[in-house]
Amino acid sequence: MRIGVYPGTFDPITLGHMDIIRRGAKLVDRLIIGVTTNIAKSPLFDDDERIAMVKAEVAGIEGNIEVVGFNSLLMDFADAQGASIVVRGIRGVTDFEYEYQLTGMNRQLNARVETVFLMADVSLQPIASRLVKEIAIFGGDIHKFVTPSVRDAVVGRIAERGLLQGDR
């Protein structure tokens, strides 16, 4: 059985992530979406909320998909899941440079696991969770970047935390 891992913070999960999940699920027998915390980022949602959000969003996608939280090195997580493939989405050159370096480091940690890059659909390439949050914090409409339920969660969290900025 070919097992793949698609890791990310998914804070929040975007239509770009969903595109990579749909396509990645076709490449493996089982796709594990690994939801992690990036210590360099300040998440809007905690781990359990992000895991629940991702589970809800992928429920209708065809394929053997599982959502698992993790807080370890990606290669250790991939090993623990029995994965031989890591799926990564690429939006552009900047992503590629970062992912290229990360892949080289991961290869040093575990040469058994291959990284597969999927280019984001051209219509979804500009979408980044960080930008979605920034747009929402300034009162912008994010419906083109996330599903309605994720939009509601993001807007609600921003209001709850009093993060709304700009001229209101």
**β-bridge mates for residue 34, sequence order:** 7, 68
Q: Please pick, among 50, 88, 129, 133, the residue that the annotation labels catalytic.
A: 129
How many other CB atoms sit within 10 Å of the CB of residue 130?
11
Catalytic, 91? Answer yes
Rounded Cα distance, 50 and 43, in Å? 9
Q: Cβ distance 20 to 118 under 8 Å?
A: yes
Q: Cβ distance 32 to 83 under 8 Å?
A: yes
Tokens coding 126 = 């500009």
Catalytic, 17? Answer yes
Catalytic, 72? Answer no
Catalytic, 88? Answer no
Rounded Cα distance, 88 and 72, in Å? 17
Q: Strands of the chain (E only): list them.
A: 3-8, 30-36, 65-70, 85-90, 114-119
| 3-class SS of residue 139 | coil
Q: Please pick, among 23, 91, 107, 157, the residue that the annotation labels catalytic.
A: 91
Q: Please pick, among 41, 112, 130, 144, the residue that the annotation labels catalytic.
A: 41
Q: Cβ distance 163 to 139 under 8 Å?
A: no
Q: Please pick, among 17, 50, 88, 133, the residue that the annotation labels catalytic.
A: 17
Indicate which residues carry an active-site annotation: 17, 41, 91, 129
